[in-house]
Amino acid sequence: MERKVRLIPYQVMAEVEEVTEVPKGVEMIQSPKVWEKTKGKGITIAILDTGCDLTHPDLKQRIIGGCNFTNDDKGNKTIYKDYNGHGTHVAGTIAATANQQGVVGVAPEANLLIVKVLDKNGSGQYDWIINGINYAIEQKADIISMSLGGPEDVPELHEVIQKAVANNILVVCAAGNEGDGQGSTDEFDFPGSYNEVISVGAINLERHISDFSNSNKEVDVVAPGENILSTYLKGKYARLSGTSMATPHVSGALALIKSLSNQAFERNLSEPELYAQLIRRTVPLGYSPKLEGNGMVYLTAVDYLVNVFNETTNVVNV
């Protein structure tokens, strides 16, 4: 199977030596307001990407293991180091530790499983992705995050994703960056266009749909994907743009939602139930559903509606 899958194209806006802040995208989806209740402890996210900077001060405490499925480092499975930067950036958005320096991820106490399926050039074979998903299933990951894609609908890839979902694993994928800003046209990337995955489009920090974000009927939600500050190679930081950057916001949000739901329901929710809990925590932005799906992920949306209901009820009672 020599067909190739690749990184969803992305843009490096700037590299930064030192920062100390909660990134704006993490704040936009209301993550800090949830941290009083949970920071994602005990939830494992498998990141299928270019590997990770394993010694980055914001990430090294979060990484619990991993595996290399590429030809980098002569195919040594125990070396899942990132030579590209993309995987490290994604990892930081999901779960950079709250350590009073650098950046903080959406779920800063979640576990990261680093599954290297793309090489230093950001390219990979479909069997690497398939093997990586099987590995994540075997390791009992709660969430699989994939900021990658290709134009081909590969049945073997679809089947293993269905297997993951059947194992109650949430699969989150970038919608793709071939968009034209119009909801009237369709652009498809796989695996992001499979119905079983949670397909993520991008918005900018002003809540406008990113022109590059793919539109189609399989887009589920949108999240910040432009000028996103996160961890980068050699212990540094960078601002990147792309649906690749929106996806980890949703993966991290799902870690928080799963943790909250486990506490509230006192059981593990199924994949469809967790998806429903995600959709409850979205706000529409006024765009075509092909562009924004159910809207922007907004973790406190449920609390807001409860407060509105209670206020309305109090008024009626008076």
DSSP, res 211 = T
Contacts with 74 (C-beta within 8 Å, 6 or more apart), sequence order: none
Going from the C-alpha of 166 to that of each of 103, 212, 216, 256, the distances in angstroms are 34, 32, 24, 21
**Order of strands, edge to edge, in the sheet holding 123-125?**
123-125, 4-7, 148-149
CA 35 to chain CA mean position, Å: 18
127-134's contacts with Cβ under 8 Å and 24+ in sequence apart are 127/1, 127/156, 128/5, 128/69, 128/70, 129/5, 129/48, 129/157, 130/156, 130/157, 130/160, 131/69, 132/46, 132/48, 132/67, 132/69, 133/48, 133/160, 133/161, 133/163, 133/164, 134/160, 134/163
CB 187 within 8 A of CB 174: no
First to last CA, the chain: 69
Q: Which of 31, 49, 56, 189 is catalytic?
A: 49
Q: What is the CA radius of gyration of the chain?
A: 18
Let me know if 49 is a catalytic residue.
yes
**Token pair for 111:** 């576990």
Q: Which of 147, 193, 213, 244 is catalytic?
A: 244
Q: Which of 53, 72, 82, 86 is catalytic?
A: 86
Active-site annotation, residues: 49, 86, 244
